[in-house]
Amino acid sequence: MMTLIIFTVLFLVIDYYVYQAIKTVSEGWGPLWKNFLRIGFWVPTAWSIAALVWWTLGDPYAASTSTRNWIITGLVATYFSKLFAVVVLFVDDIYRGIKWMAKYFYKGPSNDLPGDAITRSDFLAKTALAAAAIPFGTMVYGIVSGAHDYRVRRKTVYFPKLPKKFDGIKIGQLSDIHSGSFFNKVAVKGGVEMMLKEKPDMIFFTGDLVNNESSEVKEYIDIFNKLKAPLGIYSVTGNHDYGDYHHWASLAAKQQNFKDLMEAHKLLGFDLLMNQHRFISVEGEKLAVIGIENWGGGRFSKYGKLEQAYAGSEDAPVKLLLSHDPSHWDAQVRTQYPDIDIAFAGHTHGFQFGVEIGNVKWSPSQYAYRQWAGLYQEGSQYLYVNRGFGYLGYPGRIGMPPELTIIELKRA
């Protein structure tokens, strides 16, 4: 209740402040449009407070993950954008305060003091509304256009010990599907078809098939099971696949959910590696694909057992690791397994927001992860971090489009 009260008061204060700009801008309008704007301004406020009441006093987990995501996105987009207007208006209020103090203490003729009378500047009111409209419009654009703007990213990696029969092999990587967040089935199908056109020899899926519940992927089985590769499709689990962030009626229900998730991998045609490895053989030559359950740094779960998955693969001349969280690479892979040639990860989503233009590469992800997007090398070992196929929370992407990765392996 206290949280509800605090956020309700905060929303009302922000809206009242921004409303002053609405009043100023609409001052000269006709009665119809003036009332339409001024009354209409408070409709999102009422919706936001109603959403807060429902979230606090109701049972939000009775609704679908998609419904919860849209509600949160609406609240964040609305009030994050309005904060920009508040900053501009606050600057104007400081200016007005300084003028008032100057007039109070300055005893000379009033016409000597520069500036207009103490009124809210029409220019700054319009600037404040524009400042709010820009981030709001950007977030809407990120949903409408950015969420499914799939991009193929290509890299070539050279290994001296790569068997000749694997020289030029193409590996396709998908990560972080988060099927519970999708809202455009046709666009998702288009992304899968883009991967198929690349004709990869193998496909890796590096975790987070769902947000929380295995049932989320049910509607997309017939889309992702179209993925095919002659040397197989191999997958691992991510932190969201275990249902750790969901309220379950019982431990048994949570365990059944995970069993259903593993069954979903089978229905998709994915070979799920649960701390296991597979040998890929071509005309008598082989390499090893190693896959572990989620192993994350910090607060994230550590179900992965690399020692168990690695055991028995020692003789493979090249070893490829699937591990959802890129922090695992520095924490364990590089320090304890120097013969694992390349690891494939995801998890970060590139924060679904960033700037990548030429050599300029920035995202808030870089403040949480040393390796957060793209190809990294330390000595003779490599890590590729996929930016994600889907999205979580905010159902869009800004400057960080969803990714289909193609890694080509070549003999050095």
Tell me the per-residue pLDDT of 281-317, one tens digit each, with 9 for 90 and over: 999 999 999 999 999 988 899 999 999 999 999 999 9
CA 1 to chain CA centroid, Å, is 30
Q: What is the pTM of this model?
A: 0.85
- pLDDT tens, position by position, 349-360: 999 999 999 889
Higher pLDDT among residues 122 and 253, named by residue: 253
Strands (E) across 315-380 are located at 319-322, 342-345, 355-357, 360-362, 374-378
Burial class (CB in 10 A: 0-12, 13-18, 19+), 49: middle
Angle 196-340-292 from CA coordinates, rounded to 5° = 65
Q: What was the pLDDT predicted at 235?
A: 98
The Cα 365–Cα 281 span in angstroms is 37
Q: What was the pLDDT predicted at 280?
A: 97
Strands (E) across 219-299 are located at 233-236, 271-272, 276-282, 285-291
φ, ψ for residue 281, nearest 5 deg: -115, 135
For the chain, the average pLDDT equals 91
Q: What was the pLDDT predicted at 107?
A: 59
Angle 232-233-238 from CA coordinates, rounded to 5° = 155
Q: What was the pLDDT predicted at 115?
A: 52
Q: Are 174 and 214 in contact (CB under 8 A)?
A: no
Q: What is the DSSP code (8-state) at residue 406?
A: E
The Cα 296–Cα 285 span in angstroms is 33
Q: Percentage of the chain with pLDDT > 90?
A: 70
Is residue 331 predicted with pLDDT exceeding 50? Answer: yes
Is residue 248 predicted with pLDDT exceeding 60? Answer: yes
- Contacts with 368 (C-beta within 8 Å, 6 or more apart), sequence order: 348
Lowest mean pLDDT among 28-32, 290-294, 369-373: 28-32
Residue of 194, 206, 185 whose CA lies nearest to 150: 194
Length of the chain: 412
Instruction: Output the six-digit token pair for 279.
Output: 């040998």
Higher pLDDT among residues 202 and 110, named by residue: 202
Q: What was the pLDDT predicted at 70?
A: 85
Query: Is 231 in a helix, a strand, or coil?
Result: coil
The Cα 387–Cα 373 span in angstroms is 6
Q: What was the pLDDT predicted at 114?
A: 53
Is residue 388 predicted with pLDDT exceeding 70? Answer: yes
Query: Is 113 in a helix, a strand, or coil?
Result: coil
Q: What was the pLDDT predicted at 117?
A: 47
Query: CB 105: neighbour CB atoms within 10 A?
Result: 7
- pLDDT tens, position by position, 80-126: 899 888 888 887 777 777 777 777 776 555 554 555 544 456 777 88
Within the chain, how many helices (H) and strands (E) appear?
Answer: 11, 14
**Mean per-residue pLDDT for 334-352?**
97
**Mean per-residue pLDDT for 7-17?**
90
The Cα 87–Cα 132 span in angstroms is 10
